[in-house]
Amino acid sequence: MDNLKQSSNPETEELTGAEIFTRCLVEEGATTVFGYPGGAVLHIYDELHKQKEVDHILVRHEQGAAHAAEGFAKSTGKVGVVLVTSGPGATNAVTGIADAYMDSVPLVVFTGQVRTALIGNDAFQEVDTVGITRPCVKHNILVKKVEDLPLAIKRAFHIAGTGRPGPVVVDIPKDVTEQSMVFSYPQDPDMRSYQPTIDGHAGQIKRAAKLIAKAERPIIYSGGGVISSNAHEELTEFTRLTGFPITNTLMGLGAYPGTDPQFIQMLGMHGSYEANMAMHHSDVLIAVGARFDDRITGRLDGFCPYAKVIHIDVDPSSISKNFRAHVPVVGDARKVLRALTDELRDGKYTIPDVSAWWGQIGEWAKKDSFAYQQDMDGEIKPQYVLDQLYKQTDGDAFVTSDVGQHQMWVAQLYKFTQPRRWINSGGLGTMGFGLPAAMGVQLAHPDAQVCCVTGEASIQMCIQELSTCRQYGLPIKIINLNNRYMGMVRQWQDFFYDSRYAMSYMDALPDFVKLAESYGHVGMKIEKPKDVEPALREILSLKDRLVFADFVTDPRENVFPMIAPGAAHNEMILS
Amino acid sequence: MRRILAVLLENEAGSLSRVANLFSARGINIESLAVTPTPDETLSRMTIVTFGDDRVLEQITKQLHKLVDVVTVVDMTGQNHVEREMALIKLRLRDEGCVDDLQRVNKVYRGRIADVSALCYTSEVVGTSEEIDAYLAAMAEHEVVEVVRSGPLGIARGEQMLSIRQNE
């Protein structure tokens, strides 16, 4: 508490906890809050009502608030802010908090709590929020008195946004918001136990450079950490300097231009043949801000059997967790890539000639593993819709997605050339993410083209947010690839359960056109391949309206290529 | 392999459950855990005994570090350290020979009688976990009705100390 006294903002007037709350948000520059009111946070809502600096976006379900804040955070790099009430408000937000934890999204989630005197009494709308969220937050804090509130908020923003980002929950009992004190905002989070390592170890960077200089079959494998640390320019410079092939994870797409010839597409379970084969045969693997997730590695004992691994990550626990790193470099991706590039330019090293390796990769790439056939007289192929979406948006839209086949097809076919344009739920795989995330993106970028690619199953998990979109006039373009199945579940049932479609069909679907219209939006249904192109042109031209475009697609289409669970990179199913 | 970890962490509500949660979430058992505040009351010190290979230990150490409340983590397994555990052991007396045995075993293991009643003796013994195991084995033929063990405490030998700045 010492540094409270040294704060630069001395005042003598006493403020309530609720007033202090809004003042702290302003101090943090957190002027967009996604939330939903309730008993425990009414003092705070009353304060929000009285002021103009903080905008509050009213969602229709607290899960939507958390995902919207994620969309806001992922597309801007700022910390997303959520405000919900105690009990069900908090538990509804948990899915979004867990999603943010898995994908390292900086969020501060404020949850109301019952009065301190009632805590532990099974009071109305009481849950142990700190206990429930503990396994899926970077940190959480129960504020027991108003004097602790400013520092708790300062720390929450600091922890959420630095190191490996993540969600922080601040649980505020109602009486704390009515107690008062002389407010000053601490300048320093003052934490002896939290000091992320930012600069890479110079000796490790030299070891990495030596290994790179001796590589014959190198590959760069980069993930979401590059985007979190805004290291895309450094990654591009490093990749171009070395001339090495680069593949991105699902979360890393856009960190390196998807249209560049050195980019050999996404890797992993539904990654390209060339990316996975190059991983398998590589002798030096340069992993940057990626965590060797099971959807990337496949069977671990068959993963990259010939490679020496350089692993750059700000989170030491990501290194050698799943796969042993030979040269671990703990640090911020941006700083480490800058230092590694400078080291390689120093003249002590020769960048290896990898033209033979490129020749081999070129052979693999001939498989054209993301190819599909659109019969213009047949059913609409989902890939065709996304191909057209890519072309008509010049690859420049913000695209959010839900989870399943459509998500993989966007990742394969939409060539992102900038970071923070591809917003999806990778780690937790949360159906229902896409629409609320798109709201956060659109609010952060009011004039941008924001598309939510979804399916008829996913969209129904947070469809209530169509109402929020109406209230705030968010002109999101919903591209619903409607195949009447939970497509990815159906695909696994085809492959691994002899096509017994246990509960994977979508019966009793709503008329999405009428549904969209009932919320005050534009609805469209597209059933023929020849209509896809003109329909998309019309959809994208409706600048001020949300359009729900229901594309009736081929129900039998599967995502290829695929590495079956338990298989290795060189054991892909191609069709 | 048996491992012993020393952890310094912020003495705050919830710190202990964060640590316990971490082990259970990662599917690793805690064999024993002893925790109390240090002379600097803002900090608590834990001694954790667990089992795992080098990979598991590396991961658990890193994950402990990652907890915002954790200040210092040291794996004492490979270091020269002193380890002590305390046990309270309650025996039901069957005959006079019982007491003779108890006193003989107490002498060997530096145990002492902490409580006596008409039917039961409670003895306390301090030593390494192996010594306490051996004590219990030596008393096996008697009717041991209750055993409570603290789990080991550990401290480095010599001038080495666990400090806030250990991991910087």
List chain B residues with CB under 8 Å of A320.
Answer: 55, 58-59
Complex prediction ipTM: 0.91
Of B13, B18, B63, the CB nearest to A317: B63
A399 shares contact with chain B (CB less than 8 Å):
no
d(CA A385, CA A393): 12
**A317 falls in which pLDDT band (50, 70, 90)?**
very high
Cα dihedral A440/A441/A443/A444 (nearest 10): 110
Q: What percent of chain A has pLDDT over 70?
A: 98
Q: What percent of chain A has pLDDT over 90?
A: 96
- The first and second tokens of residue A454, run together, are 């979804």
Cβ-defined contacts of B91-97 (< 8 Å, 24+): B91/B120, B91/B121, B91/B122, B91/B123, B91/B139, B91/B142, B91/B143, B91/B144, B91/B145, B92/B119, B92/B120, B92/B142, B92/B143, B92/B145, B93/B119, B93/B120, B93/B121, B94/B142, B94/B143
A116 shares contact with chain B (CB less than 8 Å):
no
Note the pLDDT tens digit of each residue in A38-73: 999 999 999 999 999 999 999 999 999 999 999 999
Of A130, A138, A321, the CB nearest to B14: A130
Note the pLDDT tens digit of each residue in A211-251: 999 999 999 999 999 999 999 999 999 999 999 999 999 99
Which site among B66, B67, B168 would you substitute to test the A interface, given the most A Cβ atoms closer than 10 Å to its Cβ?
B66
Binary contact (B62, A191; C-beta < 8 A): no
pLDDT above 70 for A7: no
What is the pairing mode between strands A246-248 and A167-173?
A: unpaired
Residue of A nearest to B167 (CA): A193
Q: Rounded to the nearest 5°, which phi and psi values hold at B8? A: -105, 130
Residue A262's Cβ-side half-sphere holds a number of Cα atoms within 13 Å equal to 22
HEC letters along A87-149: CHHHHHHHHHHHHHHHCCCCEEEEEEECCHHHCCCCCCCCCCHHHHHHHHCCEEEECCCHHHH
Please classify residue A367 by burial: count the beta carbons closer than 10 Å to its beta carbon, then call 0-12 exposed, 13-18 middle and 19+ buried.
middle
Only one residue has tokens 């948006």, namely A393
Computed over every residue of chain A, the mean pLDDT equals 96
- The first and second tokens of residue A128, run together, are 């142990």
List chain A residues with CB under 8 Å of B68.
Answer: 138-139, 159, 191, 193-194
**A554 falls in which pLDDT band (50, 70, 90)?**
very high
d(CA A86, CA A526): 43
Q: What is the CA radius of gyration of chain B?
A: 19
Residue of B nearest to A137 (CA): B67
Q: How many CB atoms lie within 10 A of CB A527?
A: 14
Binary contact (A142, B13; C-beta < 8 A): yes
- The first and second tokens of residue A356, run together, are 């033979």
d(CA A247, CA A259): 12
Binary contact (B14, A134; C-beta < 8 A): yes
pLDDT of residue B93: 83
pLDDT above 60 for A10: no
Only one residue has tokens 């940190």, namely A139
Binary contact (B9, A193; C-beta < 8 A): yes
**A11 falls in which pLDDT band (50, 70, 90)?**
low
d(CA A289, CA A226): 5
A359 shares contact with chain B (CB less than 8 Å):
no
Binary contact (B68, A139; C-beta < 8 A): yes
Q: How many CB atoms lie within 10 A of CB A528?
A: 13
Least confident of A34-43, A79-88, B116-125: B116-125
Q: How many angstroms away from the CA of A233 is the closest CA of chain B? A: 28
List chain B residues with CB under 8 Å of A159.
Answer: 68
A499 shares contact with chain B (CB less than 8 Å):
no
A556 contacts: CB under 8 Å, gap ≥ 6: none
Q: For residue A116, which amino acid is it?
A: T
pLDDT of residue A264: 98
In the beta sheet, which residues pair with residue A83? A35, A110
Note the pLDDT tens digit of each residue in B37-73: 999 999 999 999 999 999 999 999 999 999 999 999 9
**A1 falls in which pLDDT band (50, 70, 90)?**
very low
Binary contact (A193, B71; C-beta < 8 A): yes
Q: For residue A149, which amino acid is it?
A: L
d(CA A87, CA B145): 45
The arithmetic mean of pLDDT across residues A487-514, rounded, is 96
Which of A268, A282, A273, A300 is CA-nearest to residue A219? A282
The arithmetic mean of pLDDT across residues A474-480, rounded, is 98
Only one residue has tokens 């400013």, namely A150
d(CA A241, CA B82): 53
A380 contacts: CB under 8 Å, gap ≥ 6: A374, A526, A527, A528, A529, A532, A551, A552, A553, A554
d(CA A555, CA A456): 12
pLDDT of residue A293: 95
Which site among A317, A318, A320 would you substitute to test the B interface, given the most B Cβ atoms closer than 10 Å to its Cβ?
A317
User: Are A421 and A397 in contact, with CB atoms under 8 Å apart?
Assistant: yes
pLDDT of residue B149: 97
Q: How many angstroms away from the CA of B149 is the closest CA of chain A? A: 28
Of B10, B55, B62, the CB nearest to A317: B62
Active site residues of A: 62, 124-125, 174, 488
Quote the pTM value. Answer: 0.95
Interface of chain B against chain A, CB under 8 Å? 9-10, 13-14, 17-18, 21, 25, 55, 58-59, 62-63, 65-66, 68-71, 164, 168
pLDDT of residue B141: 87
Residue of B nearest to A129 (CA): B14
User: Are A465 and A443 in contact, with CB atoms under 8 Å apart?
Assistant: no
d(CA A417, CA A423): 14
The arithmetic mean of pLDDT across residues A410-426, rounded, is 98
Which site among A193, A201, A311 would you substitute to test the B interface, given the most B Cβ atoms closer than 10 Å to its Cβ?
A193
Note the pLDDT tens digit of each residue in A91-146: 999 999 999 999 999 999 999 999 999 999 999 999 999 999 999 999 999 999 99
